[in-house]
Amino acid sequence: MSIFDSALLQRTQHLLEMIYHETNINVSFEMLTETLLQEMRLESESHQIASHDQVRPSDLWDQSTTVMITYGDSFLAAKEKPLITLKHFLDEHCEGLINSVHILPFFPFSSDDGFSVMDFSSVNEALGDWADIESISQDYRLMADLVINHCSSRSLWFQNFIKGEGPGHDYFYTESLDADLSQVVRPRTSPLLRETQTDKGLQYVWCTFSHDQVDLDFRNPEVLLQFIKIIRQYLDMGVRIFRLDAIAFLWKKIASSSINLEETHNVVRLLRLLIEHAQSDAVIITETNIPNRENLSYFGNANEAHCVYNFALPPLLINTLITGNSHHLKLWLMSMPPAQLGTTYFNFIASHDGMGLRPVEGILADDETQVLVDTLQDFGGRISWRALENEEGEAIQKPYEVNISLFDALQGTLKGKDELGIDRFICAHAIMLGLEGIPGIYVHSLLATRNDYQRMEHTGHNRSINRHQWQYDELEGLLEEKSHHKKVFTELKRLLAIRQQQKAFHPNATQFTLHLGYSIFAYWRQSHDRKQSIFCISNISDVAQEFMLSDINLVSTDDWHDLISGAEMTRQDMLVQLTPYQTLWISNS
């Protein structure tokens, strides 16, 4: 008789059948189910004990939840491991304002700044060790990458694949050169199949991203079992937020796009089920840099990702601020469905990667996207491309992302660079911090880091332009003197401190888009108990704007004030003037 809860057994087995229904596997679904649960150590007794302390979906996050995104070695200090220096930065500069930290892949790797993992179970010795990771997780909610689609060609698994024996010998997806791969969607221009000489002869390995990042074959249940073991280890080390990297590409089929396939969605459902039962306060975030409608599908019916990246927000918000026109941003916001209880959006406007352009396909016209790309190139940005075919079947390239630091991206408008860059930059963050969802702030946005051309030239990769490494002593000096770094950091921390006190900024609080003209972007938030309302109003242009308080229908019996400036908003007939890029958070409490 099984030691596991019958409902859990049935749900797990059903999902496994949905994943592998077209795959010939040499194990029963019942046996596979029990093995998965054993690997996650979900014995019924311990699960029943944990169930008494289950976390309600509404308690997974609140208005104080803010994630800082960083590499493990964003800060360097003499005679100190970078993870220790990172902990110093968090404790000395972010305590009380940042409660969660996403440390980008901290494992041994061979390329792509960590996303070509050689060993999923170890910490890169150049960064520190598991004790350093656990130290951070004790004081901050830790988010880590589950690089689940691929691993390094220098990994032991892939070396065993070449030898034809040992763990990994059957973990990789191979395909024939004759297979119909014409519909495959991928974000790179390199050949899809990597020619590899193995003990079994010449084989062609699927590589979605690069030939050093070899795709794993989840048609083999053993691969799934390995990742369940990895998840269990990460939970034991304090990871509570799992970022499923490149998850949309997980399952492959010939004569298909091999992206967002139903098997992939079922794998996400299975991982959520198992992780929730192992750790009720753990959260899954899917990283799917794809068109908006496809991205939203990863919520499922509140049974897949707890959070999805709001990938359309960065290009739309940057486009809004450099054009001075909020039309597309407003239409997009109006089209976004409120997230169901237990799910929410993960909002960000900059990250370690470039600004993706695929999410605005169907939102911005091609010529508008080209204007955005050209403008950001004028501000020092670089373009990364993806391979496509035109209607005639000819190979073409299309911009995939713009590589640029957010601070440099917002140093001007379509007219060129100006003196309003800092105001524009703060405005972008004030807009993001008020939106429905959890804010994720890239460390180099927090510090207003500029384009790092030297690092980009050294690595030969465009993305390195926004992956600066700070000498900690130098940064400390800049944050003590009158630098733009200090000015931005101080103001962003002030906005975070204000935000975390407002119930109307709960990630799932009510949100409605307001209409105050194209030069003003505005929306309304209301707390779950309906006691607090906040009208978030931003001038997204480089000239002064104005509106009447009567335009937003403030309840006359309440006392209203701007949370940011402290100004009273008392009279319905009051004419409010906004300086370029000024934001108001008009609240009744």
Q: In Å, how far are 214, 217, 353 from 168, measured between CA atoms?
A: 12, 10, 29
Confirm whether residue 306 is marked as ligand binding: no
* Whether 537 contacts 578, CB under 8 Å: yes
112 is in an annotated binding site: yes
C-alpha to C-alpha distance for 175 and 194, rounded to whole angstroms: 10
User: Beta-carbon neighbour count of residue 200 at 10 Å?
Assistant: 12
Give the CA angle between residues 229, 114, 244 to the nearest 5°. Answer: 50
Asked if 367 is an active-site residue, the reply is no
Taking the C-alpha atoms of residue 38 and residue 36, their distance in angstroms, rounded to an integer, is 5
The catalytically annotated residue of 145, 212, 245, 562 is: 245
Give the Cα separation of 71 and 122 in Å (integer). 16
245 has binding-site annotation: yes
Alpha-carbon span 420 to 431, nearest angstrom: 17
The two tokens of residue 54 are 């289950």
Would you say 244 is a known binding-site residue?
yes
Judge contact between 580 and 543, C-beta under 8 A: yes
Tell me if 463 is assigned to a ligand binding site.
yes
Among 462, 464, 465, 467, CA closest to 443: 467
Sign of the alpha-carbon dihedral angle for 330, 334, 338, 344: negative
Under DSSP, is residue 345 helix (H, G, I), strand (E, B) or coil?
A: strand
Q: Within 10 A of 191 (CB to CB), how many other CB atoms are there?
A: 11
In angstroms, the CA 26 to CA 510 distance is: 49
The response to whether 188 counts as a known ligand-binding position is no
Assign 287 to helix, strand or coil. Answer: coil
DSSP 22-48: TS--SS-HHHHHHHHHHHTT--HHHHH
CB 371 within 8 A of CB 402: no
| Contact yes or no for 451/382 (Cβ under 8 A) | no
Both tokens of 550, joined, read 């009567």
Count CB atoms within 10 A of the CB of residue 408.
21
Three-class secondary structure of residue 390 per DSSP: coil
Closest by CA to 223, choosing from 211, 212, 215, is 215
CA distance 372 to 585: 28
In the annotated binding site for substrate, the residues are 112, 150, 243-245, 352-353, 463
Among all residues, which ones are annotated catalytic?
245
